Amino acid sequence: MEKAFEYYIDNLNEGRPFIIAGHSQGTMALIELIKNRFGDDESLRNRMVAAYLIGYTVTDADLAAANLTAAERADDTGVVVTYNTQSPTSVGGPMLMEGAHCINPPLNWKTNDTYAPKSENLGARIYNDSTGELLREVDNYCDAQINLTTGALTTTIPEGEELDIGPYSEGVYHRYDYAFWYRNLEQNVGDRIQAFSKQ
């Protein structure tokens, strides 16, 4: 991934602002990228609108090595947006480890445990993982609240909903880290770009 990023910066970026985004193993690779490339490169840090490093643990040590900070609101820039989604009763999965940062991206963009009702969810988009086919889009799909003890983003999905969560334990919604909050994330990308352009 680092070679691909270097090629992009050297041959395609032309000094423009950029966003990086990943999920799960992609986020693991991006964490190493920002640690290796951003810590000593102020010009890169100054051009990064945001890094959406979702579905894996981002720690203080990671951020310090990259010389970056975790997002604290909906419109800060040059920051790392990170969270791991699970049910309130879940014991967690292998992606959520001690020291994980978390922001409530779908709904209120807070880092405390302020509850955000599902009415603030602009729309979930549920896909078939195997084919990429969009199965459905649902407004006001689920709520969100940060568990300050575990660092998880917790949510309660609609009653009777049956989701394929793959090989993970009960309530680990790793596969849906983007899907549950799709429209809110989409809006947020635009909000951060707008905020960056005003600097």
SS3 sequence of the chain: CHHHHHHHHHHCCCCCCEEEEEECHHHHHHHHHHHHHCCCCHHHHHHEEEEEEECCCCCHHHHHHHCCEECCCCCCCCEEECCCEECCCCCCCCCCCCCCCCCCCCCCCCCCCCCECHHHCCCEEEECCCCCCEEEEECCCCCEEEECCCCEEECCCCCCCCCCCCCCCCCECHHHCCHHHHHHHHHHHHHHHHHHHCC
Question: pLDDT truncated to tens, each residue of the chain (199 aa)?
Answer: 789 999 999 999 999 999 999 999 999 999 999 999 999 999 999 999 999 999 999 999 999 999 999 999 999 999 999 999 999 999 888 999 999 999 997 678 999 999 999 999 999 999 998 898 999 999 999 999 999 999 999 999 999 998 999 999 999 999 999 999 999 999 999 999 999 999 8
pLDDT in the model for residue 106: 63
